[in-house]
Structure formats: structure tokens, C-alpha cells
Amino acid sequence: MPSSRAAAACTGPGSGPCSCCSTGVGATTWRCRSRAVSDISSNSPALAYLTTDYPNVSHTFIRREIQGLERLGRPVARFALRAGTVVDAEDRAEDDGTTQILEQPLSRLAVQLLRGAARAGTGVFRALGLAWRLGKASDRGVLRHLAYVGEALVLLDQFAAAGVAHVHVHFGTNVAAIALMVRRMGGPSYSMTVHGPDEFDAPIGFSLGLKVEESAFTVAITHYCAAQIRRWVSYEHWDRIRIVHCTVGTDWFDAARPVDPEARDVVCVGRLSAQKGQLLLIDALASACDRGFRGRLVLIGDGELRGAIERRIAAHGLEDRVELTGWADAPRIRERLLAARALAAPSFAEGLPVVIMEAMALERPVLASRITGVPELVESGANGWLVTAGDVDGLCEALLAVDRADVDTLRALGRSAQEAVRRAHDQMTEAARLEHLFDALPALAAREANGSGRS
């Protein structure tokens, strides 16, 4: 059963005012389970985060971002359309404090929808017109976008009950469309973080330009990401685009240790899907083993390509060289990375995988595809190996380089990797950048209301 977050930010176990803090679950997230959404308004957060599914095994960076803001003293209410896949203990605690609107009973949703419609008034017609416009551009069609209007009405009611003045959305896909609809119906302003690659695969279908131009600001996670957004936005609106990186928690840096001389594993973490490139990594491993590769490949994750990957492993006779673990929580991933020589990230398309940052924080060099924003962090010869995406021979050579590198080289690469991620992806530094953007919202709204535009 989804619940709603208490209004006062926790400052530490036992520090109150929420009795849930005494459980020692954690110091930086709200976990009060006893209050309803309507109770938040007595001391309400002005900021809400909205995602499609939260918490989720692949969205730990969102949790870190929220926690960083709360450490700076800004309360954040969590909203999601639906529940995600939860395996991590911290995510289970987050799940208890997230309002997941589509997980509610239909009777409750109906009441919220009607209240939202009453609040929106004629704004409903603006949202319906927007749904038509977005749906005609999208391969999801108009009917799907009309359903989004219903979700937007529920959120309009929920945001009002929680006293939300601004909504920050992760991903410029359907959830950003819903936030835009809420805004058109008189709800809170919104901003969003765009990660890619999905938004850049279909920028017209996702109406990316419109979503950016109507946002208070849009965050790009890398310079590459910002450049792609600019392609679809009139230059008059480029000043809305700001770079804020995803981050790594201090616990990853604290857990770092040099590569073990006996370590032979190469670890790959991610959904088992075509986009992640694991099938070609298996092919590259087969070639590398024929040339004397001594290690093993550990695939952490699950997904639609698991069966195909298992068949490819069997076809190459690599059953004793590849381990498929399924999904794992953060402590288990950390343990496997610390036991490895390097991380492999052979994706065809990405934003900037957080697992790359996590491995580098642990002083593990990274073997990655030279795509999107990855070269902004991974440098060949400095902290890892970059290969052309889809190049099996290049992957084979990189695997052999990992296997043949002496321990001093691996450790030097690892130290450089940690320094690079500490410079660019510190949790509190990036949280402060976001905090500055949120702090500027009232002044920005006043300038735009007066017709003076942005500075």
C-alpha cells in the first residue's frame, strides 16, 4: 500500500519529529507511514519529485539526488505513477514513503480525479487539447495521452493536498507530458531532468522541444545531453538548459580498496537488453578466451534478453566463464565490483550509467563504449578503456588489455578513476547546484509574470 511522506525532513535517527526516525532506518529520507497526503499540508514541502516508477532498482541516482536536497534542508515529497522493482533495503524504505497513484484502489482514484477536475475547471479543456497535440506527434497515440489527462487530474488533486508549488520530473518522456498537463490546468510549475537516450531517439514523438520550452528549467546530465536537447529547442530557450550530474554516494568512496592482484572477474551491471550490448560482450569474451583470457564475466541484472544470452553462452561453450546473477542490491553489487578487475559497459546507447561512477568510486577502471556522455568521464589510458560501440574485435582487445594489465597499472587507473568521479559527481556538490536552481524559481516566476524574461 503506497503511503505519503511526512512533511518534516528527518535530520537523523531519533531526532524527530517523526517517530519513524527512531527505527534507525536512515537519516536522510522521510519514512513516516502514519500520515495521509492531506496531513502533509500542515508543514508541506513546496517541492515534489515525480517519476514513472519509484523507487526502482535502476533509479538509485534519483534517491541520492533527493537525499542530497534533504541534507541541504529542502523537504521533498515523492510521487510516482506506479511502483518500481525494489531489491535494495534503502529503496524498500523509500517505497513506504512514496505516493504511487496507480497503485491506489480505483474508488480512491475516482474521487481524486473528480476533485482534480473540479479544481482544474476549464483547464481540463486545455489539457485535452494538449493531449491531442502530443498524441498526434507520438507513436503512443491520442488515446494514451487522453489517459495521461486522467493521471494529471489525480496528481493535480494530490499536489494541492500536499501543498506542492513545484514539481521536478526525471526523464522527458510520458511523465513529463503529465507534468505539463498539470501545469496547463493551473497546477504547479515543473522542471525536468533529461537523461537520454530515449528522448533523443524520438524527440518529435516525445515533443521534447515543447516540454523544455514550457519548463522552468531543464537539467541535462552531461554536456552531450545538453547539446542534444539544444538541437530541438529554439535558441531563445537555451538558457533553460543547465547541467547537473548524477552522483555517487560517499559510501561508495568509503568502501574503495585497490584491485586485488588475484582478481580476475570483469563485471557488467545492467538490464539484459539489446541496448546494453551484453550479447556482443559474450562474443568478444569467446574470442578473448581463444587468445588466452584468464578471467570470468559476471553479468548482474535481468531482462528480456536473458534467454538469448543464455543460449549464446551455451553456443560458445562459456558456461564456466560467465555467471548470471540476476538483480542484486547495492551492497551485493559493491561486493562484486570490489572482487573484480574492472567494469564492462558495452552499451549501444546510454545517458551516463551510474554504475560506471560507482565502479570508478571504488577504484575500478572501466571498459566502456565510446558513446554519448561516457567519454566525459571515462578516458582511455587514464582511467579505463573506450571502444567503438558494437565493435566485437575492439571489445575483445579491451578484455585482453584488462586481463594482461599488471596490478600496478590497474591500481593507477583505479586511483585516477576515483579522482575523476569525485571531481564531477559528488553528491552534495550537485545537490547544491539543484538547490540553487530551485531557490531561483520565485524570482524567475516574477520576472516572467512581469514580461521581463530570463536573465
Residue 8 lies in a domain: no
Which amino acid, residue 214?
Answer: E
Q: Are residues 196 and 281 in the same domain?
A: no
Amino acid at 429: T
**Does 364 share its domain with 278?**
yes
> Do 256 and 166 lie in a common domain?
no
36 has a pLDDT exceeding 70: no
pLDDT of residue 14: 31
Number of independent structural domains in the chain: 2
Residue 307 inside a domain? The answer is yes
What's the whole-model pTM score?
A: 0.86
Asked if the structure places residue 191 within a domain, the reply is yes
Whether 10 maps to a domain, the answer reads no
Strands 366-369 and 189-194 turn out to be unpaired
pLDDT band at 454 (very low <50, low <70, confident <90, very high): low
Give the pLDDT score at 9.
35
* Structural domain harbouring 350: 250-425
Residues 49 and 71 in one domain: yes
Please check whether residue 217 lies inside any domain of the structure. yes
**pLDDT for 11 beyond 80:** no
Q: What is the mean pLDDT of the chain?
A: 90
Burial class (CB in 10 A: 0-12, 13-18, 19+), 359: buried
How deeply is 186 buried, as exposed, middle or buried, from its count of CB atoms within 10 A (0-12, 13-18, 19+)?
middle
Is there a contact between 298 and 340 (Cβ–Cβ < 8 Å)? yes
196-218 burial code (b ≥16 CB/10 A, e <16) = bbbbbeebeebbbbbbbebbbbb
Q: Could you tell me if 238 and 99 lie in one domain?
A: yes
Question: Does some domain include residue 318?
Answer: yes
Q: What is the predicted pLDDT for the residue at 37?
A: 39
Domain annotation covers residue 81: yes
pLDDT at 170 over 70: yes
Model pLDDT for residues 103-139, shown as the tens digit of each residue: 999 999 999 999 999 999 999 999 999 999 999 999 9
Say whether both 200 and 283 belong to one domain.
Answer: no
Do 146 and 242 sit in the same domain of this protein?
Answer: yes
Distance CA 153, CA 155 (A): 5
The helix-helix angle for 306-315 and 278-290 (nearest 10°) equals: 10
pLDDT at residue 57, rounded to an integer = 80
| Contact yes or no for 233/209 (Cβ under 8 A) | yes
Average the pLDDT over 187-208 and give the result. 97
The CATH number covering residue 162 comes to: 3.40.50.2000
pLDDT at 86: 79
pLDDT-based confidence at residue 87 (cuts at 50, 70, 90): confident
Average pLDDT over residues 83-110: 90
The answer to whether residues 72 and 170 belong to one domain is: yes
Phi-psi region of 231 (alpha: psi -120 to 50; beta: other; left: phi over 0): alpha
Render pLDDT for 292-344 as a digit per residue (tens, 0 to 9): 999 999 999 999 999 999 999 999 999 999 999 999 988 999 999 999 999 99
Show the cell assigned to 336. Answer: 562484486
One domain, residues 91 and 229: yes
* 86 found inside a domain: yes
In a shared domain, residues 301 and 393: yes
Do residues 75 and 224 both lie within one domain?
yes
Q: What is the pLDDT of residue 45?
A: 57
Average pLDDT over residues 141-166: 98
| Per-residue model confidence as pLDDT tens digits over 361-379 | 999 999 999 999 999 999 9
Q: Do residues 403 and 188 touch, judged by C-beta distance below 8 A?
A: no
Quick one: pLDDT band at residue 452, thresholds 50, 70, 90?
low
Q: Do 418 and 434 fall within a single domain?
A: no
- Checking if the pLDDT of 99 tops 90, the result is yes
- Pairwise CA distance, residues 80 & 158, whole Å: 11
